[in-house]
Structure 1
Amino acid sequence: MAQKKAGGSSRNGRDSNSKRLGIKVYNNNYINKGSIIVRQNGLKINSGKNTFISKNYSIHSLINGIVNFYEKKKKIFIEVNNVYY
């Protein structure tokens, strides 16, 4: 018989894939219709004018325009304003 114990397996070595959450288009930047402004888990940032929230709480633009972040009653909102040339 071999006099060597079996090597124990490590309990470490696992890590989840990153979810790529966060702000994708920042304040005063141009955005196209339907593009993602923010990817988030839960409503950390709320939807404002000319935006909508998808099933996974991502905020999208409804129109082509300029992104604007603002605070109202201690909540952060995002709106998209029309661009007139």
Structure 2
Amino acid sequence: MSFLTRCLESSAVRSPFSFFGAIRTATKRAGGTVHNHGGSPGKRLGLKKFSDQYVIPGNIIVRQRGTLFHPGQHVKIGRDHTIYATVPGYVRFYKEKWMRGERKFVGVVLERGDKLPRDEASRGRSRYCGLVDRTDPVYTSAPSM
């Protein structure tokens, strides 16, 4: 028998892929990919104290990524953009014109009825010292000897 007839006979019996060797087929279907992987827990960002709430020094007011809220009066900003109070008082949120748009600010006022931004031209600068209230008339006059 010639080589050509043997190849033709064997191709009728065998699979067309047997020329390449054994082919394995999957015994299970492929699974889809997992999107979120059930990863890390949430970082608990956002507002921690709201407008008109009383805060003491060190209280966190806003935890944020980037500066969505900017620090105003009597607050400071941490290196992870956390805004916290530096004096005891009441939280105030306000907006100010900034370049072509607006910026959101967070501040703390010392008395409940005060508003921010403070009109420093008419009311003077707001000062705070943990030991002495400098705006009290008793301490503003020079001591007489």
Report the Cα offset of residue 83 of structure 1: 3.4
The answer for the alignment partner of 2:37 in structure 1 is 14
Report the Cα offset of residue 48 of structure 1: 0.3
Which structure has more strand as a fraction of its residues? Answer: 1
Distance in 2 separating the partners of 1:80 and 1:25: 11
Identity between Structure 1 and Structure 2 (%): 30
Report the Cα offset of residue 11 of structure 1: 1.8
Indicate the RMSD between aligned Cα atoms, in angstroms.
2.1
Which structure has more helix as a fraction of its residues? Answer: 2
TM-score by length of 1: 0.84
Q: How does 1:52-71 map to 2 (within 5 A)?
A: 52-71=76-95
Q: How does 1:27-38 map to 2 (within 5 A)?
A: 27-38=51-62
TM-score by length of 2: 0.51
Question: Which contiguous aligned blocks of 4+ residues in structure 1 show a shift greater than 4 angstroms?
Answer: 6-10
Report the Cα offset of residue 62 of structure 1: 0.2
Unpaired stretches in structure 2, ≥5 consecutive residues: 1-25, 113-145
Aligned residues: 82
